[in-house]
């Protein structure tokens, strides 16, 4: 209980500081930047509202007060977290972007970031599942992702909102086509994209929840 109280107090301080930062960040912004920000704020609100609804439903189920309700809520959460943590194969609507180019670690991280900005719920690069926190570094002859060497041609597979992902893939493809390093780039949208790759669970060694 003590840790929860301390964390909630911390969240309050962070929120107050964040309001001041919002004020400061808006000062001097041009109309294009503000419009970009407003659209992002709308999408943030949509996602947070959906999350609040899910968490409230889970809370109501638990407040029913019996162990079976707790087990049902926990099983639902486990299925969701297994997907978020990259621990289970998944499928769903999405895009597959193929890039034939000698990409660097920075290029790969930028591509992954663009895909996440489009709301991707699961991502695979070549045959590897990746999450924010996957280690992407340059190495002799290419890029190493979580200790495994990868190289051209690159395949980025993402599952999520097909409209947002398609828009992101289109923009990325157009940008990459202007890059002299890029030999070829293409993408396809599909109602069912499969991501069979999974990550291994990483038990805590240093931290405690």
Partner 1 sequence: MDPRRPAIYVLALLAIGFGFLITAQWRSQLIVPADRVAQNQALVASAQSLARQNSADRSQVANLRAKLDRLEAQAAQGSSAAARLSATVQELRVEAGATPLRGPGVTVRLADGKPGPDLQGATAWIVTYEDVQDVVNVLFQGGAEGVAVNGHRITPRSSFQGTGGAVIIGQSPPLLAPFEISGVGDRSGIQALLAQNGVLGDLRLRQRLYGVGLDWTGAANLTLPATDSSLEVTYAHTP
Minimum gap (Å) between residue 76 Cβ and partner 1: 10
Contact 86, 130 (CB under 8 A): yes
Q: Which of 95, 97, 99, 120 binds partner 1 (CB under 8 A)?
A: 120
Residue 113 engages partner 1 in binding (rule: CB under 8 A): yes
Distance between CA atoms of residues 166 and 160, nearest Å: 10
Distance, CA of 15 to CA of 9 (rounded, Å): 10
* Three-class SS state of 166: helix
Q: Which of residues 3-32 bind partner 1 (CB under 8 A)?
A: 3-4, 6-8, 10-15, 17-19, 21-26, 29-32
73 interacts with partner 1 by CB under 8 A: yes
Q: Does 190 bind partner 1 (CB under 8 A)?
A: no
Judge whether 157 and 195 are in contact, CB under 8 Å: yes
Q: How far is the CB of 115 from partner 1 (least distance, A)?
A: 8
Contacting residue, 2, 66, 140, 141, with partner 1 by CB under 8 A: 66
Contact 25, 17 (CB under 8 A): no
Distance of closest approach, residue 104 Cβ to partner 1, in angstroms: 9
- Determine if 148 is a binding residue for partner 1 (CB under 8 A): no
Asked if residue 41 binds partner 1 (CB under 8 A), the reply is yes
Question: Site for partner 1 (CB under 8 A): which residue of 2, 82, 143, 190?
Answer: 82
Rule CB under 8 A: say whether 132 interacts with partner 1: yes
- CA gap 52, 204 in Å, rounded: 28
CA distance 168 to 36: 15
* CB of residue 153 to partner 1, shortest distance in Å: 18
User: Which candidate, 204, 58, 10, places its Cα nearest to that of 2?
Assistant: 10
Nearer of residues 93 and 142 to partner 1, judged by Cβ: 93
CB contact at 8 A, 158 and 94: yes
């Amino acid at each position: 209980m003590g840790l929860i109280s301390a964390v909630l107090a911390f969240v309050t301080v962070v929120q107050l500081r964040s309001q001041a930062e919002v004020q400061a960040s808006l000062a001097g912004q041009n109309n294009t930047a503000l419009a970009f920000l407003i659209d992002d704020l709308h999408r943030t609100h949509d996602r947070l509202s959906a999350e609040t609804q899910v968490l409230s439903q889970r809370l109501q189920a638990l407040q029913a007060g019996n162990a079976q309700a707790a087990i049902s809520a926990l099983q639902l959460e486990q299925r969701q977290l297994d997907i978020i943590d990259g621990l289970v194969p998944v499928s769903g609507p999405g895009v597959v972007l193929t890039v034939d180019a000698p990409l660097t670690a920075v290029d790969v991280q930028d591509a992954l970031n663009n895909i996440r900005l489009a709301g991707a719920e699961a991502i695979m690069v070549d045959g590897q599942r990746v999450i924010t926190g996957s280690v992407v570094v340059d190495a002799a002859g290419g890029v190493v992702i979580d200790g495994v060497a990868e190289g051209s041609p690159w395949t980025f597979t993402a599952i999520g909102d097909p409209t947002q992902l398609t828009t992101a893939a289109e923009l990325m493809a157009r940008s990459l086509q202007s890059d002299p390093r890029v030999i070829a780039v293409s993408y396809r949208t599909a109602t069912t994209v499969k991501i069979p790759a999974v990550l291994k669970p990483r038990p805590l060694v240093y931290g405690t929840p």
